[in-house]
Amino acid sequence: MFSRRDLIALAAATAAIVGPGRAARLAAQDRLSEADLLAFKPVGNVTLLHITDLHAQLLPVWFREPSTNIGVGEVRGLPPHLTGEAFLERFGIARGSAEAYAFTDQDFVELARRFGRLGGLDRIATLVKAIRAERPGRTLLLDGGDAMQGSWVTLQTKGADIVRAYRALGVDAMTAHWEFTYGTERVKEIVEELGFPFLAGNVLDTEWEEPVFESTAYFERGGVKIAVIGQAFPYTPVSNPRWMIPNWSFGIREERVAQHVEKARAEGAQLVVLLSHNGFDVDRKLASRVAGIDVILTGHTHDALPQVLQVGKTLLVGTGSHGKFLARLDLDVRDGAIKDFAFRLIPVFSDAIRPDREMAQLIEELRAPFKAELERTLGYTKDLLYRRGNFQGTWDDLICAAILEQRDAEIALSPGFRWGPSLLPNEPIRMEDLWAQTAITYPQVYRITMTGAQLKDVLEDVADNIFNPDPYYQGGGDMVRVGGLGFTIDVEQPIGRRISELTFLKTGAPIDPERRYVVAGWASVNEGTEGPPVWELVARYIEERKEIAVPRAGLVRVKSA
């Protein structure tokens, strides 16, 4: 554990760093006002508000957007597969600006210190209330799922904290993905507790192929009958443990989506919204194949897009993740069609927006029973800790290094999750930060042996899940993170040929297809996986060092046109 003196030294170190930044942030607050963030020239009779992939982040976060986010096949180089300077250029954003900080990885640490954290449900509540006051009777607030996973409090309460927060926020409907990892019985309870529709039209029971959840909810806003169709993450039983929801079957089920759209029109809906957790590329393809969807509110792949993307007559919205953004889409709906629209993806700059008092109180109340554990400081990081990006990332380097050491393994694997906020250099690492990277219902660190050939097959399989040129075969997510292993990946190749030059980093020798390696990793989707929860190992690793300079756990070379 930390000595008192260490903690004082640590506090001083952070203060020294944060100190000058605070003045800059005050200046930033002058530039960025709540009024500026809310500025919007209203259009038409309906306002859709969208949040998605909150990942249980009730408080503001640092979240570095990816530096690598490759699109393959037809979507190569198209949004959302733009990062850094290419992104800034495509959307006309100035380098060093608040938007550059919110939307890209450019100058991240410097701009983070200048503009502060993003998100916080209390800030979102302020924005939502203001917009509802401006657009009374016209506003609909929808959540795209992955709200109930990503924090210790949410894991401990099995999503009950988010249920309360969302009820207080006045969410009108939601769909889901990680919510299913609490298992069948708990999901049924959540659906009851929400008090608003939980929509998942693509989930059928495995026995009779009958719908498990409501597919569609109808709302009247601004005199317009709106149908909201929910689409849960299609590959939940593949990507997450199927044994937790053994009787539910998912899938894209394009024809079923089309049926729901037709039915909604037949019921007199003038506006049809797909509240989707498909992932952006899947939705882009879906929009080109299923007629009659006016708006797709996308999720799952965490893409933040400053503009609406149009596919035929369908508008696609990408709202980002972790509470960083609130999407506002104003629509002029007449004669069953969108005549005009206006859009803004509002970055939730937490220093510029007043927290909503009631929501802030509720969040404090929800955290109170866990406060001591959450705030337990393990050490501090000298480097930027981030996860997001197609390959590796410092948070997972740290996790892999800890797994290698603490489970005495030769090779470590950490899943390519897209969730998990960042930490700035010289910030303390608290349990809460570590849980924000690891809090899942199947956290056990397994330890097994695998042949070199098996390792390659795992990498090929995961790569095909991300870089398959047909979006309908993509599961979203990023490449599995590795420790003790190096490889080259050519994303343009077909399965079986993407991965080459596998190297055992301990010796520098090529991976031997016949040899068995000791492999440890976490988040296995298999029932009965045994091992300590990953956060225990990583916490011990950090506490034993106190000061973390992130080791380069694995090595990935990317070949891409």
Partner 1 sequence: MNWSSAANRRTVIKGMGAGALAIGGIGWAIEPARADLAKAEKLLKELIGAKVPQEGKVRLEMPQIAENGQTVPLTVSVDSPMTPDNYCKAIHILAEGNPEAGVCTFKFTPASGRAEFSTRMRLAQTQNVWAVAEMSDGSVWMTKTEVKVTIGGCGG
Binding site for partner 1 (CB under 8 A): 53, 146, 177, 206, 209, 233, 235, 237-240, 242, 249-252, 255, 277, 279, 299-302, 413, 415-419, 446, 448, 450, 453-454, 457-458, 460-462, 464-466, 469-470, 472-473, 475-478, 480, 494-496, 519-521, 523-526, 529
Q: Which is nearer to partner 1, 106 or 249 (CB)?
A: 249
Report DSSP state, residue 325: E
What is the spatial distance between Cα 534 and Cα 399, in angstroms, rounded to a whole number? 8
CB of 460 to partner 1, least distance (A): 6
Task: Judge whether 63 and 388 are in contact, CB under 8 Å.
Answer: yes
For residue 489, the cross-strand partners are 499, 558
SS3 94: coil
CB of 27 to partner 1, least distance (A): 36
Longest dimension (CA), the chain: 70
CB of 251 to partner 1, least distance (A): 5
Query: For tokens 């169709």, what's the residue?
Result: 229
What is the spatial distance between Cα 341 and Cα 156, in angstroms, rounded to a whole number? 41
Give the angle 370-376-378 at the CA atoms, nearest 5°. 145
For residue 412, the cross-strand partners are 483, 520
Q: Which is nearer to partner 1, 29 or 488 (CB)?
A: 488
Q: Which is nearer to partner 1, 218 or 243 (CB)?
A: 243
For 143-186, give the secondary structure using H, E and C: ECCCCCCCCHHHHHCCCHHHHHHHHHHCCCEECCCHHHHHCHHH
CB of 228 to partner 1, least distance (A): 21
CB of 204 to partner 1, least distance (A): 9
Q: Which is nearer to partner 1, 2 or 473 (CB)?
A: 473
- Give the burial class of 351: count Cβ atoms within 10 A of its Cβ; 0-12 exposed, 13-18 middle, 19 or more buried: middle
Task: Judge whether 386 and 394 are in contact, CB under 8 Å.
Answer: yes
What is the spatial distance between Cα 546 and Cα 403, in angstroms, rounded to a whole number? 17
Q: Which is nearer to partner 1, 70 or 271 (CB)?
A: 70
CB of 108 to partner 1, least distance (A): 21
Q: Which is nearer to partner 1, 221 or 285 (CB)?
A: 285
C-alpha to C-alpha distances, 490 to 60, 411, 416, 467, 553, nearest whole angstrom: 37, 22, 17, 10, 21
Q: Which is nearer to partner 1, 81 or 302 (CB)?
A: 302
Task: Judge whether 225 and 218 are in contact, CB under 8 Å.
Answer: yes
Q: Which is nearer to partner 1, 29 or 529 (CB)?
A: 529
Q: Is the dihedral of CA 492, 494, 500, 504 positive or negative?
A: positive
Query: For tokens 């203060």, what's the residue?
Result: 15
Q: Which is nearer to partner 1, 60 or 145 (CB)?
A: 145
